[in-house]
Structure 1
Amino acid sequence: MRRIFAMVVAATVATGAAANETLTIEQARTIIAPLYDALNQPATKDVDALLRKATTDDWMTCSAEGICLTREKLVGAFKARGETIPDLKWEIRDIMISGNQVIVRGEASGTPAKDFMGVAATGKSFKIMSIDIQTIRGGKIAHSYHIEDWAGAVRQLTGH
């Protein structure tokens, strides 16, 4: 957990949280809403259009493992996740603002219909927490750092 916190702090410093672009909660919610809409049942959505609405052309999203993806690569990943978990639901639970950064505590839930992270589909569901740091530039998300508790999802699905 300390490693994750250190990564979040480093991400905040590296992306310039002290920038002059200060947002209200309402402005932040409007900017990030299309990204989170794309996460809800993504197999049924125009994920590309939603991500283009929410993000800059040079947007990158990076995971806790240090894997960074462009918007083009993420569209396929969202669609694949939606095919595996057709009822995937991602809710925004809290939003905090720090300069030009939007910190989101989210909650994902769903029931895999196919093998998921090495676990056969059994009809069991999961509910996990996520933390995202979205850096805003020009009214769009310019960079994202995210962490999700996928290990917790696997534990819930397997009962271990």
Structure 2
Amino acid sequence: MKLLKVMLSAFIFYLSFIYGASAMAQDLSQQNKQLLANFANEVFVKKDLTNLQEYLHDDYIQHNPIVPQGLSGFKQFFADWFKAVPDWQYRLEKIVAEGDTVWAYGVYSGTQQGDWLGIPSTGKHYSIHAVDIFRIENGKLAEHWDVIDTYGLFKQLGVIQ
């Protein structure tokens, strides 16, 4: 009987530990999803780059070779994009989080009215899909990878046939 009580207590402890760890992981994933949703809304929907330090580490690592490194590189790249595409829009479709990693699927669109990425103004509208992957560290975006439809972008802008 004593052995049964010990085994039952151990099993209850195990379940409590597993449930607690799972709940903590879910809380972290939810926090990270909310961080990315807030970031996307402020930066990509409102095109407001004034509070980037609240979202990105100064030494933010960028794995897209056309975007410069760090918070300042991010800020310059998107300021240039917003200027070249005054009607720039972003629609966030889905966010998925696991641990310190958050994936966002969205659509970037607008009309290129100014020079951008070495491409003279085309006056053409584009709409492209992208998956952005972020690693979060200490409540801020620390690292970024993306999968973006650059072929579709360049085709819509008339850069390629």
TM-score over 0.5 (shorter chain): yes
1:123 is paired with a residue whose SS is coil
Q: Structure 2: which 5+ runs fail to align?
A: 1-23
CA gap 1:140/1:117 in 2 versus in 1, 3 angstroms = closer
Aligned to 2:135: 135
**Mapped partners of 1:66, 1:83: distance in 2:** 17
- Please, what TM-score do these two structures have when normalized by structure 1? 0.70
**Mapped partners of 2:106, 2:27: distance in 1:** 19
Aligned to 1:38: 43
**Mapped partners of 1:76, 1:125: distance in 2:** 22
Aligned length: 136
Q: Which has the larger radius of gyration?
A: 2
CA contact (8 A) 1:23 1:100 kept: no
- Please, what TM-score do these two structures have when normalized by structure 2? 0.70
**Mapped partners of 2:123, 2:29: distance in 1:** 37
**Mapped partners of 1:57, 1:120: distance in 2:** 31
CA gap 1:142/1:26 in 2 versus in 1, 3 angstroms = same
1:35 is paired with a residue whose SS is helix
> What is the CA-CA distance between 1:119 and the residue it aligns to?
4.7
Greater relative CO (CA pairs within 8 A, separation 6+): 1
The AA in structure 2 aligned to 1:74 is F
CA contact (8 A) 1:58 1:70 kept: yes
Aligned to 1:151: 151
CA gap 1:150/1:120 in 2 versus in 1, 3 angstroms = same
Q: RMSD of the TM alignment (CA)?
A: 2.7
